[in-house]
Copies of this chain bind each other. A is one copy, B any other.
Amino acid sequence: MNDTPQDAETFANICKALAHPARIRIVRYLKAVDQCICGEIVQILPLAQSTVSQHLKILKTAGLVRGEVEGPRTCYCLDREVLEQFKKMTAAI
């Protein structure tokens, strides 16, 4: 791992995406079930659908999660590659 300001920014961005308990729980859930639709997560978390959708968007923007539309629903899964990258960066702190 590098140690440039840019690198710090990259790492900070992923941390930011994970800096909310709901998003941690989403990531863990996805890890456990491999993939699921948004509504499933809404069931699990004590949050409104729109709020969950927003959290998913944040995780997606950070690259940690991918979603693909399947008819009226969207199937979400972890991007394990990105997650591994993050783990490596963390280990290198």
Residues of A within 8 A of B (CB): 3, 5, 8-9, 11-12, 15-16, 18-25, 27-28, 31, 83, 86-87, 90-91, 93
Chain B residues with Cβ below 8 Å from A21 are: 5, 8-9, 11-12
How many copies of this protein are present in the complex?
A: 2
Q: How far is the CB of A41 from chain B (nearest CB, A)?
A: 13
B19 and A12 contact, CB distance less than 8 A: yes
Chain B residues with Cβ below 8 Å from A83 are: 93
A87, B12: Cα distance in complex, Å: 15
B8 and A28 contact, CB distance less than 8 A: yes
A91 and B91 contact, CB distance less than 8 A: yes
A83, B31: Cα distance in complex, Å: 23
